[in-house]
Amino acid sequence: MRFISFLAFTLSFHFISCKSNQVLLKFSNKSSEEFKEVLVNVQGREFNFKNLRSGEATPRVKVKGSYPYCYTRVVTEKDTLYFMPIDYVGEKLYTTGKLTMQFLIIQTEGRRTLEIDAKRPIF
């Protein structure tokens, strides 16, 4: 009986700590190109990742909060692309849970741009 009580206490502590005020962010490369370097700035914290291949994702990082976008610089074989969020209104600030930001390079009229698509897992 003592073991069951200890196990229940340990599991409840674990679940409570997982739900604390933090967001687990992951960044993924959804383009067909390799990213030599990815620099992101989330609420004033910078994270730098090297050699993010097409279809791969970074390890999760913990932040206090995040919007579904962030300043991003991506270095590819061809060029350096930026995503600079400015003047967004009404976007949700996530303070708990998991969030994946997917980076995609869009080619339009001879111009390449970096787009971010944020996804939250269902559970």
The pLDDT value recorded for residue 34 is 97
Residues of the chain with pLDDT under 70: 1-20, 122-123
Sign of torsion over alpha carbons 13, 15, 17, 19: negative
Distance from C-alpha of 62 to C-alpha of 30, rounded to nearest angstrom: 22
pTM as predicted: 0.79
Domains of the chain (ranges; CATH) run: 21-119 (2.60.40.2890)
d(CA 36, CA 8): 45
Per-residue pLDDT at 86: 85
